[in-house]
Amino acid sequence: MSRPSVTRRTAIASAVAATLAAGIVPVTAADAAVPPAPRGWVESTIARMTLEEKVGQLFVQHLYGATADTPRQENVDLYGVATPREVIQKYHLGGAIYFAWTDSVNNPQQIAGLSNGLQNAALTSDAKVDIPLVVAIDQEGGLVTRIGPPATQFPGSMALGAGGSTDNARAAARITGEELKAMGVNFNYAPVADVNVNPLNPVIGVRAFGSDPGQVSDMVGAQVMGYQDDAGISAAAKHFPGHGDTDTDSHVAFPIINHTKEEWEELDAPPFREAVARGTDIIMTAHVNFPALDDSGDPATVSKPVITGLLREELGYKGVVVSDALRMEGARQKYGDEELAVRALEAGVDLLLMTESMDVSFNSIVDAVQSGRISKQELDDKLRRILSLKHKRGLVTDPYVDVAAVSSKVGTPENLAAAATITDATNTLIKNDDGVLPMAVGGKKVLVTGFGVSTTADLASELAERGAATTVRQTGTSPSAATIAATVAATEGQDAVVVLTNRAWTSTAQQRLVKQLLATGKPVVVVAVRDPYDIAHFTEAPTYLATYSYAPVSPPSLARVLTGEVAPTGKLPVTIPTAADPDVALYPLGHGLTY
């Protein structure tokens, strides 16, 4: 029996759409979220699927290998077969997600070829009906960036928040989305909709746009439009119901958020409401315990009061819900893999991301449907949302990309120039007490030190291009006493020092480095290239900037600001508290100097 081709599926959808337009099939309230055009394809597809094929569509998994046919032992260990193609066809997978550690993102042409190969695997299986894949990624920009250069880089959400321009936020999403689409990636798990009100947050931090719910909402809405309306890929607002006020990383533990329901409404909910209002295709759950929203102690991912009660019913969300990765400890501490997947579906989740035990999770869902624990109607409703979204994003009619055209669409001069301009507007000058900035570096000796092998080298190179004689001493995030002593000794004969910090608020070694450099009496410019909070631990530093990012686009922008080619215009999107008391502001939200 021959399988329907993409062309035939398109014809079926068109024919059924014409029937619907003639009024032969009534549209019910439950169907209202499904546009008329794909409804025929969706319903005919679901009607022909086996139970196992339906269950497979619920999973988005990480697959090892640079091509669809690359054999890897990691695939054998996780899935019992060697290649990504075999994994997709064994489980009738709904989607794949890309990471560097799975060897998925080596360069744009390879990514596009991998995407085409995975789509081919999905569309040439022995299933009763062939369904194209979700190809997903976390390309937030800044700290969480899976695809590096030559793809266009951006400094991340908090930097965009410091820039304060929703137009720039939307443009960054549009450019990122267009480049992802050219490489065959159709889902981006961004933007981050968490409001980072806790400076001690180890997992969100600079991934959030800031600490003001109103500003975060505006930025989230702008990026949803940039990804979806402008670039034509799916956005995913994350991590519902909010992950911004925790000092625990859900990748390794189970965070508790102690906001009241009223605080949730005021602080956490607004960005998600805005994402829903802007039509976000996807919302991703958080593996957090939120007692005011559900006192069972369950992670939000498996909480029906949170996912169905709050998200679906109170916020009125009709789109696809995806779990955060089920391999994370925040999800797995209370329930094992067999129970976790089923409970997530019962709570209202549609797509299950990255289970660590595929056979166990898959079989547990099959058993749950066969036993009636999950009704066939519930399962089919999830399939309707998933398949409708695949159709909406053009995967049914055009699942492949043109590998030969990738170089003309990814990392173009126009995109790189736009990224540079956007980044220039994000640098925030917090202190300039001695008037050291801007610096005339021509003919001057400048020591560039602190965090980042490439970051310090790139900044030094940029300053050298402007006439400085630079020395580089990279010290990392936890310099030893010997490293600090050697770095201090290297200031001899220097005219100025630029030291880059990365979460120095967590590193007494970095704090010692900065203080000992300040004690030399040399002009020292301290630059926080991640969290802006570092200044609280060396308040004596007279010159301090925040870039919120060490992405490749950031050091050149920093050089332009240091030398006065560009004036700093960023404003703090968060409050910097004192080191002694997190409730006392050292520098308030909105602070920022210029020259």
What pLDDT digit, counting tens, does each position of 138-178 carry? 999 999 999 999 999 999 999 999 999 999 999 999 999 99
> Has residue 499 got a pLDDT over 70?
yes
Banded model confidence at residue 37, pLDDT cuts 50, 70, 90: low
Least reliable range by pLDDT among 25-29, 49-53, 327-331, 435-439: 25-29
Indicate the pLDDT class of residue 529, thresholds 50, 70 and 90: very high
Residue-range domains of the chain with CATH: 49-408 (3.20.20.300), 427-587 (3.40.50.1700)
- Check if 324 is active-site: yes
Share of the chain above pLDDT 70, in %: 92
DSSP lists the bridge partners of residue 448 as 472, 498
The half-sphere exposure of 468 on its side-chain side, counting CA atoms within 13 A, is 25
Q: What is the mean pLDDT of residues 475-495?
A: 98
Which of left, alpha, beta for 331 (phi over 0: left; psi -120 to 50: alpha)?
alpha
DSSP letter, residue 452: -
The pLDDT, as a whole number, for residue 134 is 98
Q: Which pLDDT band holds residue 127 (cuts at 50, 70, 90)? A: confident
Question: pLDDT class for 335, splitting at 50, 70, 90?
Answer: confident
Q: Do 544 and 529 meet the contact criterion of CB atoms below 8 Å apart?
A: no
Catalytic residue among 294, 324, 350, 424: 324
Query: Regarding beta strands 320-322 and 187-188, do their DSSP bridges make them parallel or antiparallel, or are they unpaired?
Result: unpaired
pLDDT for position 25: 32
Residue 31 has pLDDT above 50, yes or no: no
Distance CA 595, CA 572 (A): 16
| C-alpha torsion sign, points 121, 124, 126, 128 | positive
Q: How far apart are CA 19 and CA 12, in angstroms?
A: 11
The answer to whether 546 and 203 are in contact (CB under 8 A) is: no
Mean pLDDT of the 309-313 span: 97
pLDDT band at 251 (very low <50, low <70, confident <90, very high): low
pLDDT over 90 percentage in the chain: 85
Q: Reply yes or no on whether 69 is catalytic.
A: no
Say which DSSP state 434 is in. Answer: T
- Which pLDDT score, from 0 to 100, does residue 334 have? 79
Q: Looking at residues 388-407, what average pLDDT do you find?
A: 97
CA distances (Å), origin 419, targets 141, 170, 452: 11, 12, 21
pLDDT over 60 (residue 487): yes
Q: Where are the alpha helices (DSSP H) in 124-165?
A: 157-163
pTM attached to this predicted model: 0.92
Task: Answer yes or no: is pLDDT of 4 > 60.
Answer: no
Average pLDDT, the chain: 92
Q: Catalytic: which of 230, 251, 380, 591? A: 251
pLDDT (tens digit per residue) in 408-453: 999 999 999 999 999 999 999 999 999 999 999 999 999 999 999 9
The two structure tokens encoding residue 448: 């560039």
Compare 558 and 35 and report the one with higher pLDDT. Answer: 558
Supply the pLDDT for residue 51. Answer: 98
Q: How much is the pLDDT for 376?
A: 97
Residue type, 467: G
- How confident is the model at residue 199, as a pLDDT? 85
Burial 149-183 (b: 16+ CB within 10 A, else e): eebbbbbbbbbbbbbbbbebbbbbbbbbbbbbbbb
pLDDT at 253: 60
